[in-house]
Amino acid sequence: MEIWHNPRCSKSRAAKAALDEAGVEYTERRYLDEPPTAEELDAVLTRIGAEPWDVARLNEPVAKELGLKDLEHDRARWIEVMVANPVLIQRPIVLTGGEAVVARDPDSVKKALDSR
């Protein structure tokens, strides 16, 4: 199990605390310090069952600077932009054996824990 985590984010801290409380072993990836590659992000999006624009943080200042809301829905281009600007990736993301979940609420964290 792995969590893509930003320690400054309250939802990310809550998901990490829930994993700790459940007593599961996991790897913490501070994705702002260690951004995913395009291949990793593509694979995670596939596991989530989402497109990059579904998990983009469109209210981030860099999203506005890049005009992300108006960017054509081209999966490869969006992944490229998100990898170059990892702050745009929704957090936290919990990866289990074959599934990945954007774990922004207790139900999503529970789903990730149940899918181990």
The total of structural domains in the chain comes to: 1
- DSSP bridge partners of 100: 95
Residues 6+ apart with CB under 8 A from 50: 102
pLDDT at 97: 84
Catalytic residue, chosen from 9, 38, 43, 50, is 9
The tens digit of pLDDT for each residue in 87-111 reads 999 999 999 987 899 999 989 998 8
Mean pLDDT across the chain: 95
Residues spanned by the domain of 67: 2-115
Q: Mark whether 107 is an active-site residue.
A: no
The letter for the amino acid at 52 is P
Residue 48 pLDDT grade (very low, low, confident, very high; cuts 50, 70, 90): very high
Q: What is the CATH number of the domain that holds 40?
A: 3.40.30.10
CA 66 – CA 100 distance, rounded (Å): 27
Residue 78 above 90 pLDDT?
yes
Strand order in the sheet with 2-5: 27-30, 2-5, 93-95, 100-102
Residue 44 above 90 pLDDT?
yes
Cis peptide before 7 (omega within 30 of 0): no
Mean of the pLDDT values across residues 51-77? 96
pLDDT at 12: 95
Residues 6+ apart with CB under 8 A from 78: 51, 52, 53, 56, 71
